[in-house]
A and B are shown apart, each in its own frame.
Chain A
């Protein structure tokens, strides 16, 4: 089991991040990310898992200051390196983007400039971020295309984005991002819509690049298979909250939070003959446990209101494995109203 090295300073530190969007009428502010804290360590691939509405994409956009107005960060800090991205002005953000942190998105062809040849686009990155001259940049671009596994790099360098297949375009994006030399790469569902064989190749590429450059990767995905095969650590989000985080082996083998357990329980495996899934029974919403002398209960976020829970906190269940849980007082003790 590959463990992440936490010996040196983390690449990114997110503390109590909250993001909210106004509703249609404009009179209420609806939180989409609430009090999320985690770190991205050096030399690791950490997966961010959740369903739609979990806030995983918004969290990652905020790291690069890309929260789209009228949404805004309403609290917390995001430290990329030593700088707090929250509230940073455009100039500061521009220094961070590309150099400290970079992002690849779901549809690579829309991230590429449709009017510029591929080779020119990659060369531009080298010229801007590495200070190369035109000729060197052109050479490096070809080398980068080869490195990301594109056969016939000269032909691809002379093509336009719409002439590439989805898989190839994503490789080009990865190439461009790596050319920036970022310390942190955020990948938001980078293989949506791609064939499974291409997906496997893309993740292999990411893993290879990460191993070579010690770049950290924050991988947003809904596919638990990808998480199991690619990530060192995984964080689970539900309805804007981070409910569990830990090493991949721990989370898969000993999930504590009811939401994580629900996700893992509902998983189908391609390598096992199908058993019978029983989703008819409503899965448990709470899971209680003890840490030291404290009694705690982890509760699925959609049951919080109904169960009128107390303020939750991230509790360390096992080394490196934290769960969002609520303290329980022993039965019969007084409640201070």
Chain B
């Protein structure tokens, strides 16, 4: 069991707006071990992007701690954090916006190499070519600017930029949301291959659950700024325990017409509220069918509920209870062993 190199403890982020204080992140804790592929899922308002921004120090959190290799980096100076940036990198959602429109591929990829002095100046171009090969980017594109590249090519540049400094940890913030279907699959397989080759840990943030299932070994589910469930990917997808996770999974469309008649959709009434008051108790309380008065007070603890560190923040499971509160979302009403037919 390797020691976690990233330890996030009770992370909090508050935004002040005229309408009130928004608790975008409200006490999030998790760890990531070297080489681990972790997925972070949640809908709008869940706070997942804010967590990512805090991890790369695009924002400073209002509370909690972030520990890298055991060292508290939450509030260290900008300069000091900059020296750590070669170990944590990020791939952004929209490749069109995240690349400087005036810089060529060579210039964009050379920058991290130069900033962190990864190689000697005269070897930079060779290293850039090597990076392009790694992400399957045609070498002939090296002097092109972003507007001369396709969406998939631009995103490959974004990925190449992130791995240029050989980081230990990469955060992918919805990297395929703006891409076409067939390109999406190429990028996803690229990410998987790179992870196998380079052994980096990554945090894959996405609302596309199929991709998360393919790429990640562990999943965190967020709702309204808190982690409501976490665990091994197969546990979460086959055995979701939190009512929100169940609703989320039941809403994901399955590309199989044969399953149409048998899916049971779990509907959460209302919509994700916009937060302007701090939440006390369970964030899902107003929409959950199983809510009790005791769920609305205090902080909901994470309860171990399954193998491999499957934990859920839900009082329905306290004291060893394990009520079967919903039919398994992907399966027919009578769960079958194989779980759906081809």
The 8 closest A-B pairs by CB, nearest first: A225-B253, A271-B330, A268-B210, A200-B251, A195-B43, A224-B255, A274-B214, A266-B185
Q: A268-B211, A270-B209, A277-B189 are in contact. Are A167 and B255 (CB under 8 A)?
A: no
- CB neighbours (8 Å) of A168 from chain B are 271
Q: Tell me which residues from 231 to 262 in chain A have a Cβ below 8 Å from any Cβ of chain B.
A: 248-249, 252-253, 262
One of B58-66, B98-106, B123-131, B262-270 at the interface: B262-270
Cα A253 to Cα B182 with chains together (Å):
19
Q: Does chain B have a CB within 8 A of A1?
A: yes
From B210, B213, B253, B272, name the one whose CB has the most chain A CB atoms within 10 angstroms. Answer: B253
Which chain A residue shows the least CB distance to B212?
A: A270
Count A/B pairs, Cβ under 8 Å: 114
B260 at the A interface (CB under 8 A) = yes
* B249 near A270: Cβ-Cβ < 8 Å: yes
- Please give me the residue from chain A that is nearest to B272 by CB atom: A195
Interface residues of A (CB under 8 A from B): 1, 51-52, 151, 165, 167-168, 195-201, 203-204, 222-230, 248-249, 252-253, 262-264, 266-274, 277, 279-280
Is B257 part of the contact surface with A, judged by Cβ < 8 Å? yes
* Distance in Å: Cβ of A238 to nearest Cβ of chain B: 10
A52 near B180: Cβ-Cβ < 8 Å: yes
A contacts with B: majority SS:
helix
A160 CB, min distance to chain B CBs, angstroms: 16
Please tell me the size bucket of the interface on B. Answer: 35 or more
Q: Is B114 at the interface (CB under 8 A from chain A)?
A: no
With A197-B43, A204-B265: A268-B253 Cβ-Cβ less than 8 Å: no
- 20 A–B contacts, CB within 8 A, in A order: A151-B269, A195-B272, A196-B209, A197-B247, A200-B250, A222-B181, A225-B255, A229-B254, A229-B263, A264-B255, A266-B182, A268-B188, A268-B210, A269-B254, A271-B254, A273-B213, A277-B189, A279-B186, A279-B189, A280-B189
**Cα distance, A201 to B267, chains bound together (Å):** 8
- Roughly how many angstroms separate A274 CA and B37 CA in the complex, as a whole number? 14
Choose from A167, A225, A253, A279 the contact partner of B254 (Cβ within 8 Å).
Answer: A225
Pick from A51, A197, A229, A270: contact of B182, CB below 8 A. Answer: A51
